[in-house]
Amino acid sequence: MLTRFYVFLISLFVYGCNPGPEEKPSIDDLVGRYTLIDAPGICRRMDPNLLVTATLNSDFSISLENIPDCIYKGYRDDEITGKQLSGTGTWELVVPELPSSYGIIVNMSGVSTMNEGSYGSWMIIGKEKPFQLVYVVGDPDSMQYLTYKKID
């Protein structure tokens, strides 16, 4: 429940200029492969030649490949190494209390190079499909986030 509250709070910061869908997106609208198109400076220590992807599947499984380690190190510059992380887990759509602030909660599990647990601050942005996904890095006040564009 607390994760859903954080999704709501973060959406207030992120959605100020780029609101999300006004109606609940269908699972089919979200399923697909997304690639990283923008990252804050602290997350740019990774190899620029690697394809960074998040794949949402219709069975609610997710695969993350070459994600910057700032995804769980947060905004602390001294802790970010520039390593890429990969893993699998599950995802679920979060229906907000306010319109235009839908998100997804990602739970990583099993064998991976990512810490197990919830990565819950993924926001769905864009008024129409294809939607983009935004992951807030660290403190929402830092206004640093990873932006992913749907590629298929």
The CATH code of the domain that includes 82 is 2.40.128
Over residues 61-89, the pLDDT tens digits come to 999 898 877 766 555 555 656 677 788 89
Residue 108's domain spans which residues? 2-150
Residue 28: its pLDDT value, please? 95
Total number of domains in the chain: 1
Residue 114: its pLDDT value, please? 67
Over residues 135-149, the pLDDT tens digits come to 877 666 767 788 899
pTM reported for the whole predicted model: 0.78
Q: What pLDDT tens digit does each residue of the chain (152 aa) get?
A: 445 444 444 444 444 445 788 888 999 999 999 998 887 666 666 677 778 899 999 999 999 898 877 766 555 555 656 677 788 899 999 887 666 678 898 888 765 666 677 766 788 999 889 999 988 776 667 677 888 999 98
CB-CB neighbours of 77 under 10 Å: 11
Residue 79's alpha-carbon distances to 39, 56, 59, 71, 88, in angstroms, are 17, 28, 34, 11, 23
